[in-house]
Amino acid sequence: MIVSNRVPPLRATSAVAGGLAVALEEAVRRREMLWFGWSGETSASTEPKVTSRGQRTQAVIDLTAQEHRLYYGGYCNGTLWPLLHYRFGLAEFRREEEEAWRAVNDRFAEALWPLLREDDVIWVHDFHLFPLAAKLRAMGAKQRIGFFLHVPFPPPGLFAALPRGEALLRDLDGYDLIGMQTPDDAENLRDALRQQGVNTPVGAYPVGIDAEAFGKAAEKAEARRDVQRFQESLSGRRLIFGVDRLDYTKGLPQRLEGYADLLKRFPQHRGKITFLQVAPVSRGEVKHYRLLRRELDEAVGRINGEFAEVDWVPLRWTTRPIQRSVLAGFLRIARVALVTPLRDGMNLVAKEFVSAQPPEDPGVLVLSRFAGAAREMQGALLVNPNDPDEIAEALDQALSMPLSERRQRWRQDYDLLHEAGSSTWSRDFLTDLTAARAER
Ligand code: ADQ
């Protein structure tokens, strides 16, 4: 049984813009399972809606508008998300929101309870649901329950800023195993748990992707009419590509500034490149996200105003979501991918870019050293995403890199991705969850 805040639709996964759904969708294919979570709707109804297709059943509940506002917009996205991404200054703390978060977790547990079978293995996902196992244990659940955190976990000194953070950590005792994206995240959580006397095992299980399948999809996508039309619109200019949810963790203002610095400091590239940044609006109900969008709209205007020629627009910008298959095509024709989050649990776009590239003439990945993916993607040009100058220098290096070096860097990353894959992630975690079972 999978439990996560949102449950992707049973059909058509083509337009999802979110790493959790993408990672799990690939990992759970061909397993018999029930996926439980929030329906995405708000209403006063408390009954779970259950639907099935093939081996997959999904059960979802609605939240009330108030629960949604306090739990999701409030505590999850306004408190935990910034704090876990080391952005203490953006986090807001309201007792009422924390209580709503706990109440929603209780509601999840109560709705789940009648659906549970004795031999189920329960895999809970992400920070929205930290306290779920503790509640299920209090109700008497004896099943194996594992937890995976898709985002980073900060050092205990920073986490300590969270009011009643100790209670959150103690609740993690309800899990038999906790998976994190990187060894550093695992170490941070272990330290914090140790201080609370909690002994739940914590391990690193980096999320992977099915590199071969994504590569094939990208190759096929290159032939799509819309992808070809896009390529023609580049008029032979090399494509620099970025795609992220519009989120302040993704380092978008610094990235745009880095591109502007490239045009300023390395004018030989002017007129020969186009940077397309796709950033579908997410969490528009949260203030910092609205402010960020305005800041970015302005930056795009400013940069194009400063550098455009009558027949060349250096920066193309869209906040609309694009289909995953089109995205795969763009990732294939891109010559440079700019993936510069200030912090990121993993970052699947980095892995998708490497998988999508043509082996005979691969492009270059410019990657933040603060993305979980940086540990694995050692062939990338690693940058400090806070420094636009460093981004500009890496872009220049990427655009000037000889074919032999591009091939060698790409090969190193591709082989690693190919070995790991998405099914390894879930298989390793579930194998260890079975073995890690605590006596209850
Ligand atoms: P996200 O923060 O959503 O995920 P990421 O890992 O980059 O970040 O995954 C985004 C996914 O959505 C990718 O598969 C990407 O291709 C897709 N996507 C992005 N923009 C899109 C668009 N405009 N249209 C369609 N698809 C789009 C969270 C964590 C990450 C972690 C993942 C998985 O924040 O750190 O890697 O979960 O664990």
Mean pLDDT of 14-35: 72
Residue 16's pLDDT band (cuts 50, 70, 90): low
Mean pLDDT of 365-379: 97
Q: Does the pLDDT at position 380 exceed 70?
A: yes
Q: Are residues 415 and 432 in the same domain?
A: no
Provide the H-helix boundaries in 42-120. Answer: 65-67, 81-84, 95-112
Residue 15's pLDDT band (cuts 50, 70, 90): very low
The reply to whether ipTM tops 0.90 is yes
| Domain containing residue 332 | 211-419
pLDDT of residue 440: 64
Q: Does the pLDDT at position 17 exceed 80?
A: no
Selecting among 150, 171, 210, 244, the annotated active-site residue is 150
How far apart are the C-alpha atoms of 150 and 438, rounded to whole Å? 23
Q: Is the CB of 281 under 6 A from ligand 1?
A: no
Mean pLDDT of 280-287: 86
Q: Are residues 218 and 195 in the same domain?
A: no
Mean pLDDT of 203-216: 94
Pocket test of ligand 1: the residue of 346, 353, 354, 368 to mutate, having most ligand atoms within 8 Å of its CB, is 346
Tokens of 332: 């294939």
Mean pLDDT of 7-26: 68
Share of the chain above pLDDT 70, in %: 97
Q: Does the pLDDT at position 300 exceed 60?
A: yes
267, burial (CB in 10 Å: exposed 0-12, middle 13-18, buried 19+) = exposed
pLDDT of residue 235: 97
Q: Is the CB of 207 under 6 A from ligand 1?
A: yes
Mean pLDDT of 169-182: 98
Q: Are residues 171 and 265 in the same domain?
A: no
Q: Is the CB of 17 under 6 A from ligand 1?
A: yes
Diameter of the chain measured on Cα atoms: 71
pLDDT in tens, 399-415: 999 999 999 999 999 99
Instruction: State yes or no: is 128 an active-site residue.
Output: no
Question: Lowest-pLDDT range, 43-57, 120-134, 204-218, 348-362?
Answer: 43-57
Mean pLDDT of 320-326: 90
Q: Is the CB of 371 under 6 A from ligand 1?
A: no
Please answer whether residues 19 and 249 qualify as being in contact, where contact means their C-beta atoms are separated by less than 8 angstroms: no
- Residue 192 amino acid letter: A
pLDDT of residue 361: 98
Q: Are residues 189 and 234 in the same domain?
A: no
Q: Does the pLDDT at position 290 exceed 80?
A: yes
How far apart are the C-alpha atoms of 203 and 436, rounded to whole Å? 11
Q: Are residues 48 and 109 in the same domain?
A: yes
Residue 88: enclosing H or E segment and its boundaries?
none
Mean pLDDT of 60-79: 96
Q: Are residues 61 and 180 in the same domain?
A: yes
Contacts of 306 (CB under 8 A, 6+ apart): 260
- Residue 82 amino acid letter: P
Higher pLDDT, 18 or 54: 54
Q: Are residues 199 and 215 in the same domain?
A: no
Q: Is the CB of 208 under 6 A from ligand 1?
A: no
pLDDT of residue 179: 98
Strand, coil or helix: 146: strand
Q: Are residues 373 and 354 in the same domain?
A: yes
Q: Are residues 177 and 50 in the same domain?
A: yes
Please answer whether residues 416 and 376 qualify as being in contact, where contact means their C-beta atoms are separated by less than 8 angstroms: yes
pLDDT of residue 25: 73
Strand, coil or helix: 34: strand
Q: Are residues 14 and 118 in the same domain?
A: yes
User: Distance from the CA of 22 to the center of ligand 1, in angstroms?
Assistant: 7
381-383 and 364-368 strand pairing: parallel
User: Distance from the CA of 196 to the center of ligand 1, in angstroms?
Assistant: 32
Please answer whether residues 385 and 342 qualify as being in contact, where contact means their C-beta atoms are separated by less than 8 angstroms: yes
Q: Does the pLDDT at position 438 exceed 70?
A: no
Q: Are residues 253 and 376 in the same domain?
A: yes
| Number of domains making up the chain | 2
* Mean pLDDT estimate for the chain: 94
Q: Does the pLDDT at position 26 exceed 70?
A: no
State how far Cα 16 lies from the chain centre.
12
Residue 27's pLDDT band (cuts 50, 70, 90): low
Q: Is the CB of 358 under 6 A from ligand 1?
A: no
User: Distance from the CA of 132 to the center of ligand 1, in angstroms?
Assistant: 24
Please answer whether residues 374 and 349 qualify as being in contact, where contact means their C-beta atoms are separated by less than 8 angstroms: no
pLDDT in tens, 226-273: 999 999 999 999 999 999 999 999 999 999 999 999 999 999 999 999
Task: Give the number of the atom of ligand 1 that is nearest the alpha carbon of residue 372.
Answer: 35
Higher pLDDT, 9 or 302: 302
CATH number, domain at 24?
3.40.50.2000
Q: Are residues 244 and 257 in the same domain?
A: yes
